[in-house]
Structure 1
Amino acid sequence: MAAYTVRLASWHNDSAALKLVREAVFIREQGISVELELDTLDAECIHILAADAMLHPIGTARLLPDGTIGRMAVLKEWRRQGVGSALMEKLLDEAKDRQVRQVTLNAQVYVTAFYRKLGFQAVGEEFMEAGISHVRMGYRLYDRQIK
């Protein structure tokens, strides 16, 4: 397994690295428009950044102040190597440290099994967002067992 690190990031200091991953995954790979991908919420979010051994960005996720997780992305060549799980574990730890009781996210339907393995549960029907089928999922942090 290749070496990588996961850390808390800030939009002010790390926006270029965070954008690099999100643009690669959401804009180029999935065809989401720049206008939908880049919003005005990033400055107020908690960001997590994964980087390879050379400190090149490979994954990211963010948490909005209301407990919504979003912009979870891992570069294609780094998927299925534990990066996504490590990002989510770090983000959930940060949320719990900030006393967020429950988090929600809009999961692309094809990755709902990934989120279920982490303890998320679907809380609604499928819907379309940015031309991609999603389902809303939730996770109660106060039920979470910290290792």
Structure 2
Amino acid sequence: MGLWDWTLEAYARPGAPEACLALQDDHGQNTPLLLWAVWAETDDAGRLARAADLARRWDGVAVTPLRAVRRALKPTFEGVADEAREGLREDVKAAELRAERVLLETLEALGGAPGGTPALAALRAASRAWGAPAPDDALAALAAALG
């Protein structure tokens, strides 16, 4: 199964969205990178460093700016009709999701056979590669949700 389809299935599992958002918002992690590491079953430091570098650059150019705009459009904006603002917010949300999909497809193209690494070990390694590691309990929550 391709990474995008796997990610959609994984994100639909109970607890996965909450665990992903906590890792992203509370611990500064890159959710697509974490999910890719689990999918690729890898804890290879070199492979993760390359993936994290790519994710960091794409995140800075596309994902983070789109997320900031989407969040800025959430509250009412005096002088702009709510329906128009919400419509634009939905467009930006779709662009943000597309940017994440592009990142996942790019990470998938890095290739390499699955490494057989268990989910929690892959998450720990990917979190370290991203930067300051997330707390183990937050990573364990995602690992548990992913099964």
Same fold (TM over 0.5): no
Query: TM-score scaled to structure 2, two decimals?
Result: 0.23
Q: Report the structure number with the largest CA radius of gyration.
A: 2
Structure of greater relative contact order (alpha carbons < 8 Å, 6+ residues apart)? 2
Name the one with the larger helix percent: 2
More strand by share: 1
